[in-house]
Amino acid sequence: MTCLMVQGTTSDAGKSTLVAGLARLLKRRGVNVAPFKPQNMALNSAVTEGGGEIGRAQALQAIAAGVAAHTDMNPVLLKPSSDVGAQVIIHGQAIGNMQALDYHAYKSTAREAVLESFARLQSQHQCVLVEGAGSPAEVNLRENDIANMGFAEAADCPVIIIADIDKGGVFAHLVGTLELLSPSERARVQGFVINRFRGDIALLQSGLDWLENYTGKPVLGVVPYLHDLYLDAEDAIHSQQQNQSALLNVVVPVLPRISNHTDFDALRLHPQVNLQYVSVSEALPPCDLVILPGSKNVRADMQALFEQNWQTKLQRHLRYGGKLLGICGGLQMLGKTINDPEGVEDTPGQVEGLGFLEFTTVLQSEKILKNVRGQFTLAGASAAYTGYEIHCGVSMGAALAQGPFTVEDAALGSDIATRHEGALSADGQILATYIHGLFDHPQALQQLLLWAGDTSCEWRAFDLAAHRHTQLERLADTLEVHLNEQWLAQLGENEDV
């Protein structure tokens, strides 16, 4: 068994991408490989087959590795609900909210969950690829660290450090990070990977030689900038250029605590759709469809919309014939009230919703986590879908009595009883659902585009899962060319790299 930990000089240095690419490359070479991230802080998450919640990046890395996503791949997930507090998820299940200082004291307990999960993965796979979080050189966070070198030392795992040259300062980042590590941690570092390089490698060579001579560590590869590489985002919202030839204009307001915006990746990549993310403080541009996304603090985000007069903006949008879709937290915002009597997401309290649909929502401490499938009927036709639910809210009211979605648990047989889900307004303009991932299913995407846009248009088929695999293959091909082959060959062998 081998293990390797990828740490980065900064957030967004390319840790998740490198682990995903290495996982796909090792899978192609016949290695039984699994991803692992001890502690993840992210608002984009996924539901495993066993009904647990993990970070979106680890779900993607599991796809790259060709293995089923499991909660052991991300034993500690933190979902921020404010600037100083987060919901803490251990082994896929929420245990409650903690303030930053409280969680810092809890880390010694979380460490046990991390090491238990890692041991199980080690026993089941030839190679475990571990992803760090942020930077290992955050000296204020070193005590009881479980995300970077604290884990590597406890698990006796070798480390490589990746840095993003596109942002500038790559040599300072790498040398400075190494200097802030302890002697034993520095000895654990096997080498460096430089990410997102543009230009002639000959102009970089003198810097690479200097880095190797100064640190005594090899540069294991220089990965070129891969334009238009699509991989599921852990948190960052991708900037989007205007699609001037689009047949459908879609706007998603960026809520302060937006979550699971990967719901809209298929729209962002669709050749006939122009997707715009707009700040809640901006004007609502003319569009065919507005989507209210998921939220980790739905009452606070609802208040943010009210403060920026989005109720009036959306009323005007509907008056001119536009469509409105609410997903998960967005569904809750479309109702009459949102009540959090137990303080599940914040302090206990209640806020008014937009009032567009007849139902109310109560947040409860037990989170609903499941993969689902079924059918829905819109624009006079039915379509199959697959998706998942992640929510604490329970919504009740007349608008939800005969929702347009039928739902069954995707893990069970086809003969189980189905239930109605979601809501559709009487005029067909407003749609609401708790189901994430609807646009990922090609047939469902086609039908949703017909509902939101021109029913006479010939909408092109787009398969996000197939596109994802194409991108993973492209990434693996790139790593195979640009990483040190002798070093790559050691991964998966029965010795440490």
- State the catalytic residue, choosing from 125, 391, 436, 441: 436
Annotation says 328 is catalytic: yes
Q: From residue 141, how far is each of 39, 41, 167, 285 by CA, in Å?
A: 13, 14, 24, 42
List the structure tokens of 69.
């996503």
- State the catalytic residue, choosing from 157, 328, 391, 392: 328
The HSE-up count of residue 288 (CA atoms within 13 Å, CB side) is: 17
Annotation says 392 is catalytic: no
Q: What is the phi/psi pair of residue 66, to 5°?
A: 75, 30
Angle ∠(339,397,401) on CA atoms, nearest 5: 145
List the structure tokens of 254.
């960026």
Q: Are strands 405-409 and 360-378 parallel, antiparallel or unpaired?
A: antiparallel
- Residue whose structure tokens are 């585009």: 449
Which strands make up the sheet holding 93-99, listed edge to edge?
39-41, 76-80, 85-90, 93-99
Query: Which amino acids are annotated catalytic?
Result: 328, 436
